[in-house]
Structure 1
Amino acid sequence: MSTPAPVSVSILDREFLIACTDEERPGLIAAAAYLDGKMREVKSAAKASGLDRIAVLAALNITHELIAARQQGTSQADSVAQHVQALKHKLDGVLSASVK
């Protein structure tokens, strides 16, 4: 792993230097671009002006997205588990019938 080096990212036309490794750099740049987009959405939709308020509202929106995605993932995982259990039950039935 490489040593952390400062990377410049722009969020709402403000530059921030953030230390990260070469491996982390693409993720950091993508995260900063996503945050910048969300903050711009909040700024234009809510007509919010204070950077702190915009940042908090954007953070709440992103957190809401994360929670919804996790819940959807859990729901899909539960559905897959049920399907796997049903298939296992069918296989058990077929295998026990063929052994007799």
Structure 2
Amino acid sequence: MKQLEVQIMGQNYMLGCPENSEIRLLEAVHTVDSAMCKIRDAGKVKARDRIAVLAALNLAYQLLEPAPAPAPAPEQAPDAPDAASEASQAQLKALLERLDTALASPNPAH
């Protein structure tokens, strides 16, 4: 296994990387770094661990979003939206907003 030194939000990390997977790992590092820097630069959250949690949640949310369905052929009527899926998406979005708010508020314990 190869070792790569990478930088995320200005901090160095040594990561193990399977052979021939360096490009994929570096793309993942870039994605995480971009997500964390975006949250940090918004100025609402300062703690690195909170930024990491928010970035992880945002990236997981993006991964779980369903791929857009192809447009129906003109002779076909579009299917009715899946109400359960829409409700789940709405609940997840509400949860993420609550987490953003909770993590952005000052925590007297820290």
* TM-score of Structure 1 vs Structure 2, range by shorter chain: 0.5 to 0.7
Residues 57-92 of structure 1 deviation map (CA, whole Å, 9 limit, x = unaligned): 001111111111xx125x44xx7xx87xx9xxxxxx
TM-score normalised to structure 2 length: 0.59
Out of 48, 57, 62, which is 1:60 matched to?
Answer: 57
Q: How many residues are treated as equivalent by the alignment?
A: 74
In angstroms, what is the RMSD of aligned CA positions? 1.8
Provide the residue aligned with 2:89 in structure 1: none
Residue equivalent to 1:35: 32
Moved over 2 A (4+): none
Q: Could you tell me how far apart the structure 2 residues matched to 1:41 and 1:12 are? A: 10
> Following the alignment from structure 2 to structure 1, what is the Cα–Cα distance between the partners of residues 34 and 45?
15
From 6, 13, 18, the counterpart of 1:21? 18
CA–CA separation in structure 1 for the residues paired with 2:16 and 2:54: 25
Could you tell me which runs of 5 or more consecutive residues in structure 2 were left unpaired when the two chains were aligned: 77-110
TM-score norm. by structure 1 comes to 0.65
Cα distance in structure 1, aligned partners of 2:51 and 2:43: 9
Q: What amino acid does structure 1 have at the position aligned with 2:30?
A: A
Structure 2 vs 1, CA of residues 13 and 6 (structure 1 numbering), >3 Å: closer, same or farther? same
- Equivalent residue, structure 2, for 1:94: none
Q: Which of 1 and 2 has greater Rg?
A: 1
Query: Is 1:72 matched up with 2:72?
Result: no
